[in-house]
A and B are shown apart, each in its own frame.
Chain A
Amino acid sequence: MYSWIWRHLPGPVASKAVLALLLVAAVAALLLFVVFPWVEPRLPFNDVTVD
């Protein structure tokens, strides 16, 4: 998977590296600001109330 991505990134190694870092940052941002906030309320370890 990762080698496939690396092969398909355009340009020389430097540009591949920059693009790869950008990809990682984009995925991390997607997880942190979209996926995790959505997943979190569905997990059981955040209950602080008695009910």
Chain B
Amino acid sequence: MDDRTQPWDRVPELGGPPPRSRPPVPGASAPSAAEQPAADDATGDVVTERDRSWQSWGEAWSDDDGHEDWDDDAPRGRGFWRSAALGVGELLVTAGMVLLLFVVYEVYVTDFLTAQKQDELATELREQWADEPADARSLTQVELGDAFGVLRIPRLGEDYTRVILEGTEEKQLAQGPGHYVDSALPGEQGNLALAGHRVGKGSPFLELDTMRPGDPIVVETADSWFVYRMLGDPATGDVDADPSGIPGRQIVAPTDVQVVSPTPNAAASAAPTGAYLTLTTCHPRYSARQRMIIHARLDGGAISKAEFPDGPDALYES
């Protein structure tokens, strides 16, 4: 009833003083006097309701022990701290999600991106090899960042093939195993040194620790195959038992650059005593505290791709 009369009652009051505390005027016109109490009630209701809502709002921010003496600023100040804490909490949760996403990126997404890049590189390299005349194919000079060969390691999978690039900067390593600049080229006397990621970026060297002495590591170039075999004693599987004294596998500090010397573990300036291949990756997994190193030696000489288009027998040993 009140609700319905309210708009009607209020219209005549517009512009006038608030009717609230006005005492009834005896001499006033009948309709106005009759309506007055209703108008009072309506206005009174509105005010009370607003008061109540402010009150409850204040209570929500007041202490548990029932502090009611907050002045006007107090609830606002508390609201600020509350939203600040909320904001910090949300930021922390967001930071956690971003870090998780980064882990996903490192472990899975980079694999995907590198696989794409490897496919492109492999296609390009095959086309390049097919286009070049045989006599122009020489590996005497390789530009930084160029793909120049394909690495195959049957122990890491029958279809394990990785295009290798010149250079060991992150730019190259993100695409595949990188060849240490100035280290030997495939088949040359000296040490063909390759670095590759252990986890992420296609994880080319993830399972290097499963390699055993005598395992073939095959490098394919424009016209030849080169078969290297991991050092150590193939009969016993002892990686330290190679007659040359060079271990097949070793864990070293990141600063131990002698592992990529022309003769592994000899001085960098010493003359090479053979054609070696060295793989370096980080160790342990997910860490860069140490390096895992695999050493291998060339087994035989260059194998012509014209004669063995499908690869040397070493690829199909197991």
**Main SS of the interface on chain B?**
mixed
Besides A1-B90, A46-B170, A48-B205, 8 other CB < 8 A contacts?
A: A1-B91, A28-B101, A36-B102, A36-B106, A48-B196, A49-B291, A50-B255, A50-B257
Q: What 0/1 pattern do residues 17 to 51 of A give for CB contact below 8 A with B?
A: 00000000000100110001001110011111111
A41 to chain B: which residues have CB within 8 Å?
170
Is B282's CB within 8 Å of the partner chain A? yes
Please tell me if the beta carbons of A50 and B280 are within 8 angstroms of each other in the complex.
Answer: yes
Taking a contact as CB atoms closer than 8 A, the residue among B173, B197, B259, B287 that contacts A50 in the complex is B259
A44 to chain B: which residues have CB within 8 Å?
288
Taking a contact as CB atoms closer than 8 A, the residue among A2, A32, A45 that contacts B105 in the complex is A32
Using known A-B contacts A48-B196, A49-B168, determine if residue A36 contacts B105 with beta carbons closer than 8 Å: yes
Residue of A nearest to B197 (CB): A48
Q: Which of A32, A46, A51 counts the most B-chain CB atoms under 10 A from its CB?
A: A46
Q: What 0/1 pattern do residues 102 to 114 of B give for CB contact below 8 A with A?
A: 1001100100000
B118 to chain A: which residues have CB within 8 Å?
none
B residues sitting closer than 8 Å to A (CB atoms) are 87, 90-91, 98, 101-102, 105-106, 109, 168, 170, 173, 178, 180, 195-198, 200, 205, 252, 254-257, 259-260, 280-282, 286-288, 291, 293
Please tell me if the beta carbons of B198 and A49 are within 8 angstroms of each other in the complex.
Answer: no
Please tell me if the beta carbons of A46 and B288 are within 8 angstroms of each other in the complex.
Answer: yes
CA distance A41 to B172 in the complex (A): 12
Please tell me if the beta carbons of A46 and B101 are within 8 angstroms of each other in the complex.
Answer: no
Please tell me if the beta carbons of B90 and A2 are within 8 angstroms of each other in the complex.
Answer: yes
Taking a contact as CB atoms closer than 8 A, the residue among A1, A2, A31, A51 that contacts B101 in the complex is A31
Using known A-B contacts A1-B87, A31-B98, determine if residue A48 contacts B105 with beta carbons closer than 8 Å: no
Please tell me if the beta carbons of A45 and B291 are within 8 angstroms of each other in the complex.
Answer: no
Please tell me if the beta carbons of B197 and A46 are within 8 angstroms of each other in the complex.
Answer: yes
CA distance A46 to B107 in the complex (A): 12
Residue of B nearest to A44 (CB): B288
CA distance A36 to B280 in the complex (A): 25
B197 to chain A: which residues have CB within 8 Å?
46, 48
Please tell me if the beta carbons of B257 and A47 are within 8 angstroms of each other in the complex.
Answer: no
Using known A-B contacts A1-B91, A32-B109, A45-B287, determine if residue A51 contacts B257 with beta carbons closer than 8 Å: yes
Using known A-B contacts A1-B91, A50-B257, A50-B280, determine if residue A45 contacts B102 with beta carbons closer than 8 Å: no
Taking a contact as CB atoms closer than 8 A, the residue among B106, B109, B195 that contacts A49 in the complex is B195
A40 to chain B: which residues have CB within 8 Å?
106, 170
B90 to chain A: which residues have CB within 8 Å?
1-2
4 pairs of A and B residues whose beta carbons are closest in the complex: A49-B195, A41-B170, A47-B288, A45-B288
CA distance A50 to B288 in the complex (A): 11
Please tell me if the beta carbons of B91 and A51 are within 8 angstroms of each other in the complex.
Answer: no
CA distance A42 to B91 in the complex (A): 23
CA distance A48 to B200 in the complex (A): 12
